[in-house]
Chain A
């Protein structure tokens, strides 16, 4: 016996997962426009956190439709996946963070030349430079 066998129909109505756009997307687009201008004028990277806003599924659909897809799509594996894609507007990136259990952890629009998560960190580059020389110093140890 499963839940489906119980003859009660639950009508969730237009709840949080509702499909109706609430108008939030329009307001957000204006915020992104202002950030994009800042970055276009040489300003610092800007981030709009989407998880903190009461966006409905409909709002997300509006955002996705209006922003579109650009030239870059990337996936990062560090403490879970991170999906990155450039929107049809260069400089506006959609970044989706997932946790180790592959559940959504955070979702952001990042406005800048390249999202932070894609850049290699100087400390990691330092460690990698130290490790790299071993490639030709002790080739057999690093062959695995």
Chain B
């Protein structure tokens, strides 16, 4: 545990990493979170004074895609510096230890950092029949979550399942699955939904927790506002086609081949809040709409049960007042101006909270 006594600045210097790398990292995180650039030096200085954060990552009723997304995309980007900033003390799929040894590692990490560790959760938690449908080491995940949460400084729910129940909670929800916030009510909770979530968002959340000592500002669904205040539609590169009224009508027509707007083939971009449109996946390679498929709305609660993925918003259950208002606004030439405006809004939101 000696390494925990060094500040992050000392730790980096010991490894021969210059402050330029540190500044580069902070500049990247700050810009992704719309933190004003003028705050970058202060952020870097504050981060340099912080100590390695103990992180305990619990996986419950999940499919491992969240881990795939987060671990694969960290390397070899600048963001892999984040692994110098945290001490991942428990993650049952990634650690070498198994069985009793793994559980012992968890208990030790909890004891040593009681009240200070950060808990990451992926997967939903079954409630039905006292939670017996999902267990590890003879303990239901319901019991496990309550126990680990008790000593946590804060909890981050990774992925739509841990945040809102997700696929596990889809109709008919045989296990009575719910998200973390339906069980734990006395701890700060932040949701990073998405199926899977975007890794850079986790980097941003962890960094701001370390630099500022608290979780970043969140919206009404407890998502970090810096990444979730805009809709996919706000930032979509196909938005100019929407504004021009050019739509793909099926997946192999002229419009689809020309990369026109996917609204009419069911894209949920206008009512889905997430950052895929700019951050993309797999180190910026692509994202669903760039691959020619409409947004499924995977970062919104109950996305799985909200009617067909291929029905236009104006025709489905998603087409609430919000969806219909957006459909009615088609053809208004906002394009570039709206993207710049939404960027400004984001600055305002992150600065104001």
Closest beta carbon of chain B to A57's beta carbon, Å: 11
Residue of A nearest to B28 (CB): A106
Given contacts A27-B337, A79-B17, A99-B76, contact A116 B257 (CB under 8 A): no
Q: Per-residue 0/1 for A17-60: is the Cβ within 8 Å of any B Cβ (1 yes, 0 no)? A: 01000111011100100000000000011110101111010000
Closest beta carbon of chain B to A28's beta carbon, Å: 7
Residue contact B336 to A22, C-beta cutoff 8 Å: yes
A94 proximal to B (CB < 8 A): no
Which residues of chain B come closer than 8 Å to A12, judged between CB atoms?
Answer: 259
Residue of A nearest to B22 (CB): A121
Given contacts A79-B81, A117-B23, contact A100 B76 (CB under 8 A): yes
Given contacts A24-B336, A99-B76, contact A52 B31 (CB under 8 A): yes
Residue contact B37 to A45, C-beta cutoff 8 Å: yes
Q: Which of B94-102, B214-222, B277-285, B321-329 lies on the face that meets chain A?
A: B277-285
Chain B, interface SS category = helix
Closest beta carbon of chain B to A115's beta carbon, Å: 10
| Chain A residues proximal to chain B, CB less than 8 Å | 11-16, 18, 22-24, 26-28, 31, 44-47, 49, 51-54, 56, 76, 78-80, 82, 97, 99-101, 103-106, 108, 110, 116-117, 121, 123-124, 127
Q: List 30 A-B contacts (CB under 8 A).
A: A11-B258, A13-B257, A13-B259, A15-B259, A23-B335, A24-B336, A24-B339, A31-B340, A44-B38, A46-B38, A49-B31, A52-B32, A52-B34, A52-B343, A53-B339, A54-B237, A54-B277, A79-B21, A97-B27, A97-B28, A100-B76, A101-B77, A103-B77, A103-B283, A103-B284, A105-B77, A106-B28, A110-B37, A117-B24, A124-B18
